Amino acid sequence: DNVLNIINQIMDECIPQDRAPRDFCVKFPEEIRHDNLAGQLWFGAECLAAGSIIMNRELESMAMRPLAKELTRSLEDVRGALRDQALRDLNTYTEKMREALRHFDVLFAEFELSYVSAMVPVKSPREYYVQQEVIVLFCETVERNGKGVLKFIWNCSGP
């Protein structure tokens, strides 16, 4: 977990404009979004790469296994690039290191979406649209009823 935090800090400094988009995280339930999610995801990736099945979800585990293996290899590439970088100028990042970080970031984002979607229900864009429509209808109904109640009160109190 600490290694992932350090790598995230390095990516923020080294490739800030090249980070993988994570807009999908807003779809995650609130109880999923917390500080140690990355550590839990990494543990899941290592377990899957080693052949484990997560939470009795055999089909999802088999589908995610190749991505988990590629992700764990990618972290090893990043660690190797960081070791090489430590022996050189610490103030400049090599293209090899930048590329390793970009690749890892993309894979981690893909794994994050796949893993969380397999574990908890994540709403589709259509479901969000329908939910927004219901909210708008509810607000309009409350607004109309509120105006009706005000008219009723005004009429009852009389001039």
| Full DSSP string of 72-116 | HHHHHHHHHHHHHHHTS-TTS--HHHHHHHHHHHHHHHHHHHHHH
24-50 tens-digit pLDDT: 777 777 777 777 788 899 999 999 999
Residue 127 and residue 85 share a domain: no
How is residue 19 annotated by DSSP? P
Q: Which residue has the higher pLDDT, 122 or 80?
A: 80
Residue 95 and residue 44 share a domain: yes
**Dist. CA 85–CA 92, nearest whole Å:** 9
Residue 152 and residue 114 share a domain: no
Residue 63 and residue 25 share a domain: yes
Residue 153 clears pLDDT 60, i.e. is over it: yes
Residue 20 and residue 82 share a domain: yes
Least confident among 1-5, 61-65, 103-107? 1-5
**Dist. CA 40–CA 108, nearest whole Å:** 12
User: What pTM was computed for the model?
Assistant: 0.72
Residue 151 clears pLDDT 80, i.e. is over it: no
123: pLDDT confidence band, cut at 50, 70 and 90? low
- Tell me which residue range forms the domain holding 141: 123-159
Residue 96 and residue 38 share a domain: yes
Report whether 101 contacts 15 (CB < 8 A).
yes
Residue 104 and residue 155 share a domain: no
Residue 101 and residue 155 share a domain: no
Q: How many domains does the chain have?
A: 2
Residue 129 and residue 115 share a domain: no
Residue 48 and residue 13 share a domain: yes
Residue 150 and residue 91 share a domain: no
Average pLDDT, the chain: 85
Residue 59 clears pLDDT 80, i.e. is over it: yes
Residue 78 and residue 115 share a domain: yes
